[in-house]
Structures are given as C-alpha cells and as structure tokens.
Structure 1
Amino acid sequence: MVLNFIWIGFFLIGFAVALARLFQGDLTIFTQVLTGIFDTAKTGFDISLGLVGVMSLWLGLMKVGETAGVIQLFARAMGPFFARIFPEVPRGHPAGGSMVMNFSANMLGLDNAATPLGLKAMKELQELNPHKDTASNAMIMFLVLNTAGITLIPTSVIAIRQAMAVDQGLVGFNAADIFLPTLIATFISFMSGLVAVAWVQRINLFSAPVLVFVGGFIAIMAAVFGWLHSYPPELMSRYIGLLGSGVILSIIVMFIAVGAWRRINVYEAFVEGAKEGFGVAVQIIPYLIAILVAISVFRTTGCMDFVVQGIAAGVAALGLPTDFVPALPVGLMKTLSGSGARGLMVDVLKTYGVDSFEGKLAAIIQGSTETTFYVLAVYFGSVNIKKTRYALSCGLLADAVGLVGAILVGYWFFK
C-alpha cells in the first residue's frame, strides 16, 4: 500500500512540476519525460534479462549446497547462538530449525528460500505463543534480526552491477568489491537490532555462544582491517574485490566438493536449481520497470534533484561531506520497498556510474538494509498478529544504524 502511494506520487508530482516548467517556457519538457519513460523501461528489461544467467548460476549452486547438506550443517553450527537469544523456544522445537535455516538462507543470498522458511518459522512460533493476536518475544527477536540479518553474499546486487558494468563498457570490472563493506554494514545493523531487542527483553548477551559468535566476527574483521589499513584506497579496493571473489569462489567449490564427496548427482542438482533462476529474473521485470519509469518521471522533471539538493543542504549545514547524498534515497526507500530501492540503486548506478563512489555506496546500502515494513506486514500477517508491540521501532532503529554504518564503511573503503 505504501509503495502504491509512492508510485502514484512520483507520477503526479512529476507531472505537476512538468506543467510548471511548461508554463515557464520549457517547451521540450514533456518530450524529455516521455523519452525518459521509454528509455528507462528498456533499461529495466535489459537489466532483468542480464540477471537470468547469474541468478540461474547461483540458484543452481545453492541447490547443490542444499542437496549436499552444507546449508543444513551451517544451520546446525548456528544453533547454539540462536538457542541463547530465543530462550522461549524449547530446544529441539521445529521453530528453532526453521529460524536458523531462514537466517542461513539470507546470509547466503538465497532469498527465494528464505521467505518460505521465515513464514514457516513464524507459524511454528505462533504455536508457542499464548496470546495469538500479540507478537511474542521470540517473534519480535526473529523479525528484527530477519530485517537486520547479516548478508554474506549480496547476490542480486552483484549481478546487477556486473550487468550494468557491461553496458557501461567497463572491462575487467569486479562487481564483488562491495562484498566486505556490505558484510560489515549488515553486521552493524544486526548487532544494533540484537542489542535493542535483548535490552527490552532482558536477555543476557554475555553468554559463551553469543560472545563466540560476536567476538569471532569482530576478530576476523579486525584482522582484515589491520591488513588493509596501510594501503591507499585504490589498492584497498582491489584487495577487497580479490577477497570477495575468493570467498564466493571458495563457497562454490566447497558446495561442489562436498556434493561429490557425498556422491550426489551434482550436475542434476545444479540444473534443477538453475531452472528457478529464469523464473526469478523474469518475475522482477514488471516490478523493476514500474518503479524505474516512475523514478524517471520524478528525475526528468527535476524533482529528484530538489530532494537530493535539499538533503545535501541540510548535511552541508552540519559541516559534513555531501557526496554520499545521491545514494541516501536508496536506504530511505529500502525500509518501504525492496523493488523501489532496487530501482533507485539502478538509477544511481546509471547516473553516476557503476564504479563511482556514489554507485558503490548505493550498492552497499541496497545489500545491507532490509524492507522492514514489508517483512513485518507479511510475516505478522501470515499468522494474524495485530499487536506488534515494539517490533517496528527496534527494526527501524536497526535500519537507521545500519544505514549510517553503511555510509561510514563506504567512506572507509572507497574514499
């Protein structure tokens, strides 16, 4: 519903501004708007088709990992950590397994599997809920961590950047250079959401599984920081891209190697999963085109420039740099709509370039923030929860901290 109002508003406000410019003597404004609509619709279609190969590849590999049991092993490894932060969920309850699998799928970029697993987990948590119209503590913790979950591989963002890099004539472009910044930004968001909910629910985070998880992650990040800190930004960017590519390739090889070791038909498992890739890529075509043409009207008439300049003026008044402002609308939109934020990210990549600071920052924000309103509406709506308590406030807090963290991380790595 919110996206519906935003979409209509982009057109109506853009048309009103276009009329004002026409009365001021700009006789080409309507032609510019119409040309922008047609060009942007073609761009959305081309980008979506460009995703077919990458999404088929990744979903095929994820199917191999699932069939080989690697994803399930990852879920079991995370089990002790989640048992501590969900004390109301009995050990061995099906909800625990579904939640861990949901987070595991999100971390590995398996969005199509994460949502069904999340809905299943919510249904199982509802079975433990004594008040069926009110969100339980476990539900709220699950929802907030879901919206602020750590992203290990931002698959769709990398795929879009790679597709657009080809269109922009970039040779040898490494679309995975946002891997480490995105990982760190999502960890910041995850920890802020975890601490906020734990504080309200009076959960003791100073337990061995939690400390091992948090401490281990921080230690790894500190080691990476120590390694990269002495390098200039350009060389640092190359090493980040190398690290991102290396980690992703290692995961791919691990899935295939474990599948071969367990004597499954890796090829058939890959083909079965890859078949879903075409459907996923085609499915986003209408959503991407819809939001892109609305943004085109809003931008061509100058409305987007007014918004960005207004934010930039406020930021400049505080004495802060303003080169991050063009990417900021991506984060603001992401809380409302994933497809809307994706459209804004594509617009930034197209306007400033895939390899620009603004483009990289927009990609980091897209990969490290979540559609809070959408997730809460769908997940709570699936079990008829009407009283969400403090879930929205904690979720938005995690989003806000994550957005600030994404901006700061983007500066640290790419400036």
Structure 2
Amino acid sequence: MVLSRFWLVIFISSITFVLFSLFSGSNYTIDHVLNGKKDDPILISEKYIDQIPAFIKDSINKSEEKTFTINRDTLNIDTTYVYKNKTVKIYSGVQKSDGLLPTCKSTLLDLILPLMAYLAFFCGLMELLIISGVSEKLARVLSPVFVKVFPSIPKNHPSISYMTLNFAANFLGLDSAATPFGLKAMESLQTINPEKDKASDAQIMFMCLHASGLTLIATSIIGYRAAANAANPADVMLPCIITSFIGTIAAFLIVGVKQKINFKSASLLIGLMMLIAAIVGLLMYVNHLDLIGKNYFTTNLSAIILIGIIVATLIFSFLKEKKFTEANTTVYEAFVSGANNGVKTGVTIFPYVLGMLVAISLFRNSGLFEIISNGLGFVFSNMGVSKEIVDALPVALLRPFSSAGSRGFLIDSMNTFGADSMTGRLSSIFQCSAESTFYVIAVYFGSVNIKNTRYALGTMLIVDVICVITAIFVASWFF
C-alpha cells in the first residue's frame, strides 16, 4: 500500500510540475520528458534568425553546419544555436535521464532481457542444486542460525540455502548472481507465506538485509575509480565495508525489534561473530598487499568464487546423477527446466520494474529531483556541513531510486572534483553502501505478486539514511 501511494505521488507530482513549468514559461517544451534521451541537448527556445544577436547570426552564416555553440566556461552549460527551416533552435544543458518512452524501451532491452539471461542461467544451476541435494545440506548446516533470524521459517527449509547464496553473492559483489538467488529465495518464502498478497515477516527481514548492501569486494566501485585515475582505486574498500556492515546491523536490529527476535541467542551471536571475524581476517590480508596486489586480489576473488560455485555444482550433480534419474530427468534437462523458470520470472517482474523506472524517469526529468537536491544542499550548507560533503549528496539522494542514475552522478563527481577528493571518495562510499531501494522492492515483491509490503519500504529508507550518515562520518575519519 505504501509503495503504491508513493508511486502515485511521484507520478502525479512530476506530471503536475512538468505542466506547470510549461504553462509558466519555465520550459519551452516538454517533449524531452516523453521522447528525450539521456545526455541529449534540451531545447529551451526557438527564434527567427533576425531576433538573435548579430555576432551569433554571423557565426551561424559562416558555419557549414549552420550551428554555433557558446562555450562559457567549465562550470556552466553550453548554449547551442541551430539554424533550420528559417528558425534558430536554441539548446542549453543536457537531459539527466531517458524520457518516458525511451525508458520503456531501455527497461526491456537493456535491463529485463539481460536480467532474464542471468535468471535463466543461475536458476538452471539452482535446479541442479535442488535435485542433487546440495541446497538441502546447506540448509541443514545453516538452520541453527537462520531459524533465530527467521523464526517463522521451518528448520531445514530450502529458502535458507537460497538466501545464503544471495547474501554470499552480495558480499562478494556478484550482482548478476545475487538477483537470481534472491528471487528464488522470495519464491521459496512465498510457499510458506499464509497471506499471499502480503509480505511475511521472513520476506521483510530478507529484503531489508539484502537491501542493506553488505559488500566485501566493491569490484565495480574500484573499477570506476581506476577509470577516473585514482591514485589507489581500492582505498575506499574499508570505508565501504564499515558503512554497509553498520547498515546491515541497523536493518537487522530495526526489523528484529519489530518482529521480537531473541538477540541473546547463542547461535545467533556465534554466527555474527563468525561474520565479523571473516570480514576482519580478509581486511587484514588485503591490507598488507601493495597497490598492484590489492587490485589483482579484488579483481579476481569474486570471479574465482563464482566460477568455483558453477564448477562445484556441475561436479556434484555428476556425482549424484542417480538422483536425477530417480526424478525422471537428466542433469542437462534439469538445467533447462530451471532456466525456463528463470525466464518466466523475468517476464513476471517486467511490469513492476517498468512502472517504477518510468515514474523515476518522470521525477528526474520534471526538474523536481534537482529542486529537492539543491534545496537540501542549501539547508546542509547553512548548517555548517562542508561543501565537499554537500557536493556528494546527489549520489546519496538518487541511490534509492536509480543505481544507474546515482552511478552517473558518481562518475560526474569524480570527473569534476577528482577521484581522490573528499567528494569523489564519499560519492563512492554512498554508491556501494546500499541498494536501489525502490527498484529492489519492485523486482523482489513483484516476482511473487505481493501488493502489501507492510513496513519493508519504511525500514529500507531508514537504513538508507543511516548508511548516508555513517558514510559521512567514516569518510571524514579516513580521509
């Protein structure tokens, strides 16, 4: 219900603001909101050639392309004059994101189809894990801890193994693998959900832990920083780990209090201590490596582990081939069957993702996001917050809405202020410290047709705020 109302508020407020801007004269046209593409120039006016300044008119006439661009300075946007069909079109600035119609197209071609391919492959592997008995053994081993965190889940339930694989994939920065494992976990949890259109306690806990974004190897962030010529691309790794870990603990505590979980459980405390020990141990190992060693380690660890999971699954399936025969199938046929289910899942979540991303596109292109971002920046500046922190806030503000959009702000901040600046580093920590909340909710709850998300959205947004505050303190401490 909350998500539905929020979606309606974004849609209605964005459209209202777009129409107000058009009729008040703030915008010359709103075509870019519908048909524009990211980084396209925005049409702000159209005049007859005799109405423009003489020096611009002369420059247009001398140009073979009948265009003229004013390069003001590096801090301001360019203005381009294009002469065509007796009028001069004036463009200034570029579009922040795709318009409504291009977003519909890119959602299918650039997001859903690749996601369906990932889902097909990893759901195929998971079918092998199920039939071969690996998932059952993994669930049996981890049940003592998981039944304390998820008391409503029966002991040895298959969802435990799926959630474990999802957490492990997130932990290692394996985004392409994390989503299929997570969707399979949601489907499995839905089988024991008594109210099918309402999120269960277990599903909310899983969603909030997943969205808190605990990441040990921030491979993509390191890659962006390396591309921006950072002196040490991996120097934000420890701040990212600390920030995302605090976010995960906050999510667990908030949901745990709501669900009255026993935090004094011995198995729960042991599991938490083992997780902390694993993080500290890996950090100590990475810390003694030189720059090349760190880059080599972070680049290859995740890939090696993913390949190891694939190889181990196939080998174990081969060794347990009798179980496939007993199930009247073969290893390959089981993989195909699982892959087919993955494709069906992709088709199911497409409308949910489309609806959310179109609303976000309208929100950004309407100008509302920019006004809110600038307003918050002004407030924080007057509160004494340093300009370096304020300049990084757009990444934090957009992160819950759009991973691609916040990534664009991240790259822009590093290009503008430098990858090794406080702004560039803080932007990097913001980017890797949490998930895209609204996208994740649309995908995961949409995959099992849950309409009432209860307190999941509110909790995830609170965790996002905690991660932002933590990132600021951690970045200020380290850098």
TM-score by length of 2: 0.58
Structure 2 residue 277 is the aligned partner of structure 1 residue 209: no
Task: Within 5 Å, give how 1:15-414 maps onto structure 2.
Answer: 16=20, 19=24, 21=26, 27=45, 31-32=90-91, 36=95, 62=122, 66=126, 69=129, 75-92=139-156, 96-102=157-163, 104-105=165-166, 107-108=168-169, 109=175, 110-126=178-194, 138=202, 141-148=205-212, 150-151=214-215, 158=220, 182-226=240-284, 241-262=295-316, 264=318, 291-292=360-361, 295-298=364-367, 306-333=371-398, 335=400, 340-349=401-410, 351-353=412-414, 356=419, 361-362=426-427, 364-367=429-432, 368-371=434-437, 375=441, 378=445, 382=449, 388=454, 394-409=459-474
Structure 2 distance, partners of 1:221, 1:359, is 25
Cα deviation 1:314-361 (Å, max 9, x = unaligned):
3233433343445534544555xxxx3224314414533578465665
Cα deviation 1:376-415 (Å, max 9, x = unaligned):
99479956769x4x656544433332333344455667x4
Structure 1 distance, partners of 2:201, 2:98, is 48
Structure 2 distance, partners of 1:66, 1:205, is 32
SS of the residue 1:79 aligns to = helix
SS of the residue 1:91 aligns to = coil
Q: Identify which of 13, 17, 24 aligns with 1:13.
A: 17
**Structure 1 residues 243, 87: closer, same or farther in 2, change over 3 A?**
same
Task: Say if 2:414 and 2:424, in contact at 8 Å, map to a contact too.
Answer: yes
Structure 2 distance, partners of 1:211, 1:240, is 31
Structure 1 distance, partners of 2:430, 2:468, is 7
Structure 1 distance, partners of 2:179, 2:277, is 28
Structure 2 distance, partners of 1:239, 1:411, is 26
Structure 2 distance, partners of 1:262, 1:125, is 31
Cα deviation 1:176-225 (Å, max 9, x = unaligned):
98776555433322211222333344433233322222212222333455
Task: Say if 2:393 and 2:427, in contact at 8 Å, map to a contact too.
Answer: yes
Structure 1 distance, partners of 2:107, 2:477, is 29
Task: Say if 1:147 and 1:371, in contact at 8 Å, map to a contact too.
Answer: yes
TM-score by length of 1: 0.64
For structure 2, the residue ranges without an aligned partner over 5 or more in a row are 29-43, 47-78, 80-88, 170-174, 319-330
Cα deviation 1:243-267 (Å, max 9, x = unaligned):
432321221231243145336579x
**Structure 1 residues 15, 330: closer, same or farther in 2, change over 3 A?**
farther
| C-alpha deviation, 1:310, in angstroms | 2.8
Structure 2 distance, partners of 1:59, 1:379, is 15
Which of the pair is proportionally richer in strand? 2
2:412 partner letter: T
| C-alpha deviation, 1:81, in angstroms | 1.3
After TM superposition, the structure 1 stretch with the greater mean CA deviation from structure 2, 244-253 or 138-147, is 138-147
Structure 1 distance, partners of 2:304, 2:435, is 25
Structure 2 distance, partners of 1:391, 1:77, is 28
| C-alpha deviation, 1:85, in angstroms | 2.3
2:468 partner letter: L
Q: Identify which of 3, 21, 25 aligns with 2:7.
A: 3
| C-alpha deviation, 1:112, in angstroms | 3.8
- Highest relative contact order (Cα 8 Å, sep 6+), 1 or 2? 1
Cα deviation 1:271-292 (Å, max 9, x = unaligned):
x969979x97996789767745
Task: Say if 1:345 and 1:366, in contact at 8 Å, map to a contact too.
Answer: yes
Cα RMSD after superposing both structures: 5.6
**Structure 1 residues 306, 293: closer, same or farther in 2, change over 3 A?**
closer
- Identity across the alignment (%): 20
Task: Say if 2:119 and 2:346, in contact at 8 Å, map to a contact too.
Answer: no
For structure 1, the residue ranges without an aligned partner over 5 or more in a row are none
**Structure 1 residues 242, 328: closer, same or farther in 2, change over 3 A?**
farther
Structure 2 distance, partners of 1:329, 1:263, is 47
**Structure 1 residues 4, 385: closer, same or farther in 2, change over 3 A?**
closer
Structure 2 distance, partners of 1:149, 1:75, is 22
Counterpart residue number, 2:66: none
**Structure 1 residues 185, 208: closer, same or farther in 2, change over 3 A?**
same
2:467 partner letter: G
Structure 1 distance, partners of 2:154, 2:399, is 34
Structure 1 distance, partners of 2:165, 2:210, is 11
Structure 2 distance, partners of 1:187, 1:210, is 16
After TM superposition, the structure 1 stretch with the greater mean CA deviation from structure 2, 38-47 or 193-202, is 38-47
Task: Say if 2:243 and 2:471, in contact at 8 Å, map to a contact too.
Answer: yes
SS of the residue 2:276 aligns to = helix
Task: Say if 1:65 and 1:71, in contact at 8 Å, map to a contact too.
Answer: no
Paired residue total: 384
